[in-house]
Amino acid sequence: MSSSPTIDDVARAAGVSTATVSRALNLPDAVRPALREKVLAAVERLGYVANAGARALSLNRSGTVGVVVPTIDNAIFAQGLQAFQRRMAAAGRVVLIAFSDYDPKQELTQVQALLARGVDALALTGISQRPELLARLAQRGLPWVHTGSYPAPPGAACVGFRNRAAVMRAVQYLLDLGHRRIAMLAGVTAGNDRAAERVAGVREGLARAGLKLPAALLAESPYALQPAREAARRLLSASPPPTALVCGNDVLALGALLECQAAGIAVPQQLSVVGFDDLEIARQWHPALTTMHVPTDAMWTMAAEYLLARLEGRLTNAVQSEVRAELVVRDSAARPAATPSASPAASPARPAPTAARVAKRSRR
């Protein structure tokens, strides 16, 4: 016998036909359990590995699903990919991963590469894709799902949350604490609908309180610590400086906290900082970061479930599913320090909003 066993070797070892081996491996429900176990035992004993190309030809399916995320430098995407891959692996499917680096042109290139490799379905990040990309997927009849944004364009599937509304809850929390000079450290909004919606959420949240977001209190930064520190430095140099900073994600918030530490700015005594995503490191940082918790595992698992339902014929139409980002109150936000002109009589103290009160209000 050759060092690379073939399907004929498995058939002889199990005492069945090659057609039975193929059905046992590719269509297990079509084979009696006892016979399937016999084939699988022979596969295990011989160390047989099925030819993926032949399987794809016989089933007109590759058994692979593509995913395009901006990067895995940010743990939020690595966590989501792990949840997605775990569910796909349980269904016997292989995940092929590509990265767009927040560039719609690069995303189109990567999707074309995945299509050339015969993926059966795709998961995309956000809803900022080029129209020609989506048109190509629709033309092929390929199932796809948008993650991280809700809602998606009509006729498209998504599993995500309302980024604007989520940030507005963070802004409202800071307003309830008494902050009126609130800055925004955003991700780069070009080609990133999630970043743009979070900036819009800060603007709208402030507008509801009769406030504005001045140009001097808005900065965009790549999602990396050093550029986040530099952007935070510019915001903190505004005159007068902000008393609170809303960040587009936790990486930006951690960069801001590092800059505050270097500049001798006490958090939250002199500056309150709020993040977005609820990364594990945000919980362990000092001070622990107040942030918006995104149900990443659930969101990506739901995206995998949707694609599996489409591939297995259990679902024929696009479905849009909403998850909710919730405010997690920790130690990095507090009431603004009293100004010299403020007097107790003019500004009566109110108790700071607690996590329970915030949660109760956010469910309304």
Q: What is the chain's mean pLDDT, rounded?
A: 89
Distance CA 176, CA 350 (A): 9
Q: Contact 288/355 with Cβ under 8 angstroms?
A: no
Assess whether pLDDT exceeds 60 at residue 344. Answer: no
What pLDDT, in 10s, does the model give residues 21-58? 878 877 777 788 888 889 889 888 887 766 554 554 44
Q: What is the mean pLDDT of residues 200-215?
A: 98
Q: Tell me, rounded to whole angstroms, the distance of Cα 133 from its chain centroid.
A: 20
Distance CA 17, CA 349 (A): 82
Of 163-177, 276-290, 341-355, where does mean pLDDT reach its minimum? 341-355
326-328 and 320-322: which strand pairing?
Answer: unpaired
Assess whether pLDDT exceeds 60 at residue 1. Answer: no
What pLDDT, in 10s, does the model give residues 61-96? 579 999 999 999 899 999 999 999 999 999 999 999
Fold observed for domain 64-161+297-322: Rossmann fold (3.40.50)
Angstrom CA distances, 192 to 182, 264, 293, 313, stand at: 22, 33, 20, 32
The answer to whether the 64-161+297-322 and 163-292+326-336+346-362 domains have the same CATH topology is yes
Compare 68 and 20 and report the one with higher pLDDT.
68
Q: What is the mean pLDDT of residues 233-242?
A: 97
Confidence of residue 357 (pLDDT cuts 50, 70, 90): very low
For residue 4, the number of C-alpha atoms closer than 13 Å in the C-beta half-sphere is 3
What pLDDT, in 10s, does the model give residues 147-167? 999 999 999 999 999 999 999
Dihedral pair phi/psi, residue 82, rounded to 5°: -65, -45
121-125 and 64-69: which strand pairing?
Answer: parallel
The residue extents of the domains of the chain are: 64-161+297-322, 163-292+326-336+346-362
In percent, the amount of the chain with pLDDT more than 90 equals 74
The CATH code that applies to domain 163-292+326-336+346-362 is: 3.40.50.2300
Confidence of residue 348 (pLDDT cuts 50, 70, 90): very low
- Nearest CA-CA partner of 62 in 94, 104, 18: 94
Q: Under DSSP, is residue 134 helix (H, G, I), strand (E, B) or coil? A: helix
